[in-house]
Structure 1
Amino acid sequence: MSGKVIDFNELKKGDFHWRGYVKIGIFFIIFIILMLIIFTNVYIVKEGEYKVVRQFGEVVRIDKTPGLKAKVPFIQSVVTLPKYQMSSDVSEAEINTRDKKRMLIDNYAVWRIEDPKKLITNARTLENAETRMEEFIYSAVRSELGQLNYDEIINEKSSRGSLNDRITDKVNELLVKDNYGISLTDVRIKRTDLPTENEESVYKRMISERESKAQEYLSKGDAKKNRTIANTDRKVKEMLSSAEADAEVIRAEGEGESAKIYNKSFSKDPEFYKLYRTLESYKKTVGNQTVIILPSDSPYASLLMGNTK
Structure 2
Amino acid sequence: MADNYNPFSNLEDKFKATQNKKKPQKEKTPIDFKKYTKSFIAIFIMFVVVVIAFANIYVVKEGEFKVVRQFGEIKDVKHTPGLHMKIPFIQSVTTVPKYQMNYKLSEAEINTKDKRRIIIDNFAVWRVVNAKEMISNAGSLINAGSRMEEFIYSVVRSELGQLNYNEIINDENSSRGSLNDQITTHVNELLQKDKYGIEVIDVRIKRTDLPEENEQSVYNEMISERQSIAQKFLSTGDADKRRIEADTDRQVREMLATAKKEAAMIAAEGDAEAAKIYNESFSKDPEFYSLYRTLESYKRTIGEDSMIIIPSDSPYAKILSGYLE
TM-score of Structure 1 vs Structure 2, range by shorter chain: 0.5 to 0.7
- SS in structure 1 opposite 2:249? helix
Residue aligning to 1:292: 308
Based on CA coordinates, which of the two structures has the bigger radius of gyration?
A: 2
Aligned to 1:235: 254
Q: 1:26 to 1:114 in 2, by over 3 A?
A: closer
Whether 1:133 aligns to 2:148 is: yes
Alignment of 1:167-178 (within 5 A): 167-173=187-193, 176=194
- 1:112 aligns with 129
What is aligned with 2:241? Answer: 222
- Could you say which residue in structure 1 is the equivalent of 2:13? none
Q: Which moved more, 1:33-42 or 1:106-115?
A: 33-42
TM-score (norm 2): 0.61
CA deviation digits over 1:101-158, x for unaligned, max 9? 7354444334423525x72x66443233223322322222222332334538952499
**CA-CA distance at 1:243 after TM superposition:** 0.9
Q: Deviations over 1:186-212 (max 9, x none)?
A: 453345644388799499689758856
Change (3 A) 1:106 1:43: closer
| Alpha-carbon distance, 1:250 to partner | 0.5
CA distance in 2, matches of 1:142, 1:126: 24
8 Å Cα contact 2:67-2:131 kept in structure 1: no
**Kept after mapping to 2: 8 A contact 1:168/1:185:** yes
Q: 1-side partners of 2:186 and 2:140: how far apart?
A: 27
1:20 paired residue number: none
Counterpart for residue 276 of structure 1: 292
Query: Could you list the runs of 5+ residues in structure 1 that have no partner in the other structure?
Result: 1-8, 18-24
Deviation at 1:169, TM superposition (A): 1.6
Query: Contact 1:45/1:64 (CA < 8 Å) preserved in 2?
Result: no
Corresponding residue pairs, total: 279
How far, CA to CA, are the matches of 1:130 and 1:106 in structure 2? 12
Matched, 1:53 2:69: yes
Residues 1-309 of structure 1: matches in 2 within 5 Å? 39-44=54-59, 49-53=65-69, 55=71, 59-64=72-77, 67-72=84-89, 77-82=92-97, 84=98, 86-92=99-105, 93-94=107-108, 95-99=110-114, 100=116, 102=118, 103-115=120-132, 119=135, 123-149=138-164, 151=167, 154-156=173-175, 163-173=183-193, 176=194, 182-191=196-205, 193-195=207-209, 201=219, 211=230, 215=234, 218-219=237-238, 222-223=241-242, 225-226=244-245, 228-261=247-280, 263-267=282-286, 269=287, 272-308=288-324
Cα distance in structure 2, aligned partners of 1:194 and 1:214: 29
Q: Distance in 1 between matches of 2:61 and 2:44?
A: 32
Q: Cα–Cα, structure 1 residues 255 and 132, in superposed 2: closer, same or farther, change >3 Å?
A: same
What is the RMSD of the two structures over their aligned residues, measured on CA atoms?
4.9
* Superposed displacement of residue 301, structure 1: 2.4
Structure 1 residue identity aligned to 2:104: S
User: Which stretch shifts more, 198-207 or 147-156?
Assistant: 198-207
Deviation at 1:261, TM superposition (A): 2.4
The 1:162–1:137 alpha-carbon spacing in structure 2 relative to 1, beyond 3 Å, is closer
Q: Percent identity at matched positions?
A: 27
